[in-house]
């Protein structure tokens, strides 16, 4: 579940985890947006880019609000839930029974426009994580400078940071330095 489209979209609102205060809305970056769409097999060619960006930002806001409510162990507010359900309404699917190598498969086919279908699929991937996964495993990085959303796959659900190599190490170094800074102050007061 680490490689989920909903996580990619949520984390497109990038914050510099090192605390510089830099922030980037990667949806505005044409290279990132192209890679995002291509890597998930979404073809939105011919749709005005500003419409695509605005729609993705709107969906990201809805998903972020739900993620924040889930991580705070709060009930998802009805107005946010309504926003998500409206996306499903705008992206209806039909089913087709097909056979591949003599095996029956049920295929879902969108009967909506491409943009509505794409938004519906992203929303659906998030809903699937809530319904089929464990909502208590959806977490927000404890590094106040990062706020990356991730799905905790540890056995005891103890992960606090998005990544070991970035935020976890950074936070450990910060705690170590703060601890030694306090000890150094205490030692310098004793010497006076």
| Mean pLDDT calculated for residue range 88-108 | 86
Q: Tokens 């880019």, residue?
A: 49
Is the distance from CB of 44 to CB of 37 less than 8 angstroms?
Answer: yes
| Mean pLDDT calculated for residue range 101-126 | 88
Neighbours of 100 (CB within 10 A): 8
| Mean pLDDT calculated for residue range 54-75 | 96
Q: Does the pLDDT at position 61 exceed 90?
A: yes
Tell me phi and psi for residue 58, to 5 degrees: -60, -45
Predicted structure pTM score: 0.79
Average pLDDT score, the chain? 86
Q: Does the pLDDT at position 51 exceed 70?
A: yes
Q: Which domains does the chain have, with CATH numbers?
A: 5-191 (1.10.3300.10)
Q: Does the pLDDT at position 1 exceed 50?
A: no
User: Higher-confidence residue: 186 or 19?
Assistant: 19
Q: Does the pLDDT at position 177 exceed 90?
A: no
């Amino acid at each position: 579940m680490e490689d989920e489209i909903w996580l990619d979209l949520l984390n497109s609102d990038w914050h510099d985890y090192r605390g510089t205060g830099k922030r980037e809305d990667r949806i505005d970056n044409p290279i990132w947006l192209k890679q995002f769409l291509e890597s998930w097999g979404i073809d939105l060619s011919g749709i005005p880019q500003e419409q695509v960006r605005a729609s993705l930002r709107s969906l990201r806001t809805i998903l972020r609000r739900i993620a924040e409510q889930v991580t705070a162990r709060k009930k998802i507010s009805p107005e946010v839930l309504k926003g998500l359900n409206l996306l499903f309404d705008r992206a209806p699917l039909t089913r087709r029974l097909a056979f591949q190598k003599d095996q029956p498969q049920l295929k879902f086919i969108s009967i909506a426009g491409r943009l509505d279908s794409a938004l519906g699929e992203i929303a659906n991937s998030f809903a699937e994580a809530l319904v089929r996964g464990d909502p208590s495993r959806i977490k927000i990085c404890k590094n106040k400078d990062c706020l990356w959303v991730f799905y905790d796959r540890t056995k005891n659900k103890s992960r606090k940071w998005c990544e070991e190599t970035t935020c976890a190490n950074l936070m450990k170094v910060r705690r170590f330095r703060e601890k030694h800074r306090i000890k150094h102050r205490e030692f310098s007061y004793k010497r006076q």
